[in-house]
Structure 1
């Protein structure tokens, strides 16, 4: 059983475009132009590299009249190839970034060169060059449009363009992932620094610590006062017969002090009055 796949109108239109990715039609690449034609948003006579034959091909597909090329978007011409004057090139990489089919090789601050067999003659590398070292040289003589460009060349250019788009998207995603990782690392460092600062704060900054210190100081004052009164013979006289209600209050107070981590030196000095289970 053989599977068949039906192409959309936009895909069939794209198959008929020369795939130079020159943007002369007013769209960023051949596929967006094909989408616009299929949607009725753009005319099918705006592709100078395809020339008159390209218009005729699209008209036949669309069942539309064969109309002249719209020269406001450029004229049909012999296919040119970009040539870099290597003595003038400064290695800025701007032409590499502009090339839609990765036909230029080089590196930052190194000489660049054009792989002539891969160049589609799109002209996009010329405007960004800051030293004007790129010339577009015709290489097909009197042959223009589809006579100067084969279907095999168009298919190869399309594949290189698609790979470039995928690579750039992957690089953008990786860059975003690295940026997110750096941001997360900075956030983690900030959180750790904040926690370390909080842990390093003196106990006096802790409300609970302040509360315990105040209670401990009050107990210490009460203990000293009790000792002074005892020396004067004015200590508590009814310590042997404490009612159950009063003892419960004492036990509750001692349990509360234990929960707060407060020690009662007074009890320590009177073993017979030690803490009772709460």
Structure 2
């Protein structure tokens, strides 16, 4: 058995076992352990549902820390959860980013800043290297670049960084809960007003079926413009589906809106101009 690591764990009578386990996790919030965040994983270990070798960012030292606390043997990292590796940093290709905000929504520690339809960037000091921003990017413009040389696991991470990441994650969860509560309150207020007989607002009328709104389009220039744009977006979506069958489109386009799809098309055109299109150029030359 490996020697127990020199880890100082301050025991408070008010602390639960899950609290003490969570204090030993790197707080990257990467979900590689099979749980949505570090806290649920800590609770699963404490209740015996999960093993103490499911955290790749913590590496073998992380396993040893948990083993020491739990009085269990140091066992190899479970490769089904991933491998120990140098800590990566998310880097966004500014030439290709379309500002869809999907990476911002995925980042568990608010390390990505930007605005809709504007280039996003990663705050290096806040990135935990969790990889979660990569899959939802519809134009595959995010790369994970190792930044710690040969250092991996806890050698590539510090307790101060872990504590800061946990704080940002907790604040993000609190903000999201507040936003959900506010949205539910607004929806309840609108429902109550409708039951009270208030006339339907312009925003609500936009949600009416197309068959109801269609007669007004002919007399409304703005409505005609929106209809033309929507038709163009639908054509772009169908074209993208055809390109995807030929292997000439971004990989992650299954669940994006028509607006984001239009941005993807523009990004692909930029890729072609920059010589980054790969298979797209080949297909273009075939015609």
Fold-level similarity (TM above 0.5): yes
2:104 aligns with 96
- Deviation of the 1:190 alpha carbon: 5.9
Counterpart in the other structure of 2:43: 35
Question: In the TM superposition, what are the counterparts of 1:69-108 in structure 2 within 5 Å?
Answer: 69-108=77-116
Query: In 2, distance between residues paired with 1:119 and 1:173?
Result: 28
Q: TM-score, normalised by structure 2?
A: 0.65
For CA contacts below 8 A with separation 6 or more, give which structure has more relative contact order: 2
Q: Deviations over 1:65-112 (max 9, x none)?
A: 111111111000000000000110001000000000000001111110
Q: Match for 1:117 among 102, 117, 125?
A: 125
2:278: which partner in 1? none
SS of 2:154 mapped into structure 1:
helix
Runs of 4+ in 1 over 4 A off after TM superposition: none
1:200-248: per-residue Cα shift (whole Å, max 9, x none)? xxxxxxxxxxxxxxxxxxxxxxxxxxxxxxxxxxxxxxxxxxxxxxxxx
Q: Give the gaps of 5 or more residues in structure 1.
A: 192-278
- Whether 1:139 and 2:147 are equivalent positions in the alignment is yes
Tell me the SS of whatever aligns to 2:143. strand
Secondary structure at the aligned position of 2:191 is classed as helix
Deviation at 1:6, TM superposition (A): 2.5
Output the CA distance in 1 between the equivalents of 2:135 and 2:57.
19
Partner of 2:167: 159
Match of 2:52 among 44, 48, 62: 44
CA deviations 1:30-86 (Å, max 9, x no partner) are 000000000000000000000000000000000001111111110000000000001
Deviation (angstroms), 1:124: 0.1
3-state SS of 1:135 partner: strand
- What residue number does 1:272 align with? none
**1:246-261, aligned counterparts within 5 Å?**
none
Matched with 2:156 is: 148
1:14-29 aligned at under 5 Å gives the runs 14-29=22-37
**Bigger radius of gyration, 1 or 2?**
1
Match of 1:171 in 2: 179
Structure 2: 5+ residue runs without aligned partners? Answer: 1-11, 200-287
What CA RMSD, in Å, does the superposition of the two structures yield over aligned residues?
1.1
Corresponding residue of 1:66: 74
With normalisation by structure 1, the TM-score equals 0.67
